Amino acid sequence: MRPARDFKQGSRTSQPTRDSFYLPALKVQYDLEKVSFISNTSYFYHKDYAALDYTNYFAGIFDGDAMQYLPGDAPSQAFITNQQNAFTEEARVQSTDRDALVDWTVGVFYSDQTQHDGDITTNGQATYTSVHGNTPSFLQYITARDKQIAGYADVDVNITHALKASAGVRVSHDEFSFEEASAFSGFAQTPLSGSQSDTPVTPKFGLSYQLDADNFLYATAAKGFRQGGVNGNTPSNLCGSDLAALGLTTTPVAYKPDSLWSYEIGAKDSLFGGRLGLDSSVYTLKWKSIQQSVRLPSCGFSYVDNLGTATGVGGDLAARFKVTQDFLAGASAGYVSLTYDRTIYEGANAVLVNKGGRHRRSTVPCLRLDPLQVQPLQPQRLLSDRLHLPERHSNPCHAPVHPAAAHSVGRSVPVQSNSAASAPRRSRADIAPQIPQSENGPASH
């Protein structure tokens, strides 16, 4: 046995974390002859704590040398807490007669989520402590609340045995409110508070055709929506030069919703007697009022703003191979290109994005090999019996993320609106590229 050794790292202090949550849920289902009622109720509680070493961060920001540690300096640390509480209820009624001309689903969704964040950051540099003593360099306390009530309906019409048309719509009322108190170097900042509300309508349309038992074609058009949010306070004494370069004196307090239309065609095929399954698709995206993080390089802070529109094209291909009766192997490839439609300025001359410039969520062509799975391949599962498929997208280049409201206040963990359970539509508009939210850094000298 090898002797035990001490764990070594580059940080000057330990960085412990604690993270706990519980998620009780209740499902109630009542089935009649041709109709089912389903209710899903859940409560989510999450609390985490982290102590972070900011010694090198402060040295890089204030001294220009992240490795500098002068006589009299002490470690700098950030102590961050986060607590989330969320109640979610969804109830829906849906048809169950597979031989009916029309399949339908009607439902309602409600969620009420709160989040409490705290951040206490200390600066141990001698140049700071000689002036401010043990006063924290950054304090921030945030309370945010996110409420949503929505109704949705989805209809599939079996025009023929093979041809199916689909339409759906979701209407919601979203409310978001927040309060923030903060201080830099012992100087209290003006408290922030406010609220936003939106009533988005997100439709989807589709057409599918079952060529035969092994080949299925589909086309969809769908809209996605993400609620706006707020930015935390930014210290003007640290970020003044960055803000001035953008023609600003302070960061925007809030940013608006963004939305996305997706148009997709694809196929799901079973070949060679079910030994090979292929999922393929091509799509185009139109993204408006893009929420995007703007970095302030000198002070390390950032804020979220709406940066125009972008157009994207892409494609996915996924293959599953039946190696033996009980083993599967797979490979998938994907590509998406997102470019801005026009140049966006902040102030008179500061260019934030250039027309034709690639959005950060664009990808280079990539390939992923999936490991073997002990699971018999069933050809019928490769095909869609409902228009909402494909139920997952095979693009391995970016993680699917629903464009639901992702509020960010300061360094808070986003309070996500639960929409996967409430939205029967499953389209590429549901997996708009995730945009990094504002993540204000600690501060201040």
> 188-204, pLDDT tens digit by residue?
988 888 888 999 999 99
pLDDT of residue 430: 33
- Cα–Cα distance for residue pair 169/121, rounded to 1 Å: 46
Report the chain's mean pLDDT, rounded to a whole number: 80
Q: Is residue 103 part of a domain?
A: yes
Residue 441 domain flag:
no
Give yes or no for residue 356 having a pLDDT over 80.
no
C-alpha of 352 from chain center = 22
Check whether 390 has a pLDDT greater than 50.
no
Residue 2 lies in a domain: no
Report if residue 11 sits inside a domain. no
Highest mean pLDDT (candidates 49-58, 186-195, 403-412): 49-58
Q: Identify the pLDDT of residue 414.
A: 29
Instruction: Say how far apart CA 356 and CA 366 lie, in whole Å.
Output: 22
Residue entry with tokens 């509480």? 85
Query: Which has more pLDDT, 417 or 77?
Result: 77
Greater model confidence, 422 or 251: 251
> Which residue type is seen at 185?
S
pLDDT over 80 at 269, yes or no: yes
- Residue 293 in domain: yes
Band of the pLDDT at 355, cuts 50, 70, 90? confident
Residue 445 lies in a domain: no
Range 215-232 average pLDDT: 91
CA-to-CA separations, 133 to 77, 139, 226, 236, 423, in angstroms, rounded: 15, 15, 44, 21, 53
What pLDDT digit, counting tens, does each position of 117-129 carry?
999 999 999 989 9
The first and second tokens of residue 363, run together, are 């990808």
- Write out the residue range of the structural domain in which residue 49 sits: 17-431
156 lies in a domain? yes
The yes-or-no verdict on residue 402 having pLDDT over 70 is: no
Q: Is 3 within a domain?
A: no
Per mean pLDDT, which range of 140-149, 217-226, 291-300, 390-399 is the poorest? 390-399
Q: Taking Cα atoms as reference points, which of 240, 258, 260, 262 lies closest to residue 250?
A: 240
> Is the pLDDT assigned to residue 169 strictly greater than 90?
yes
Q: Are strands 163-184 and 415-416 parallel, antiparallel or unpaired?
A: unpaired
Does residue 268 or residue 342 have the better pLDDT?
Answer: 268
What does the pLDDT look like over 52-101, one tens digit per residue? 999 988 888 777 788 888 888 999 999 999 999 999 999 999 999 988 99
Lowest-confidence pick of 18-22, 89-93, 401-405: 401-405
Structural domain tally of the chain?
Answer: 1
Give mean pLDDT, residues 309-325. 89
Q: Answer yes or no: is pLDDT of 154 > 70.
A: yes
Percent of the chain at pLDDT exceeding 70: 78
Tokens of 242: 């960055």
Q: 24: domain CATH number?
A: 2.40.170.20
Give residue 349's pLDDT.
67
Is residue 223 over pLDDT 50? yes
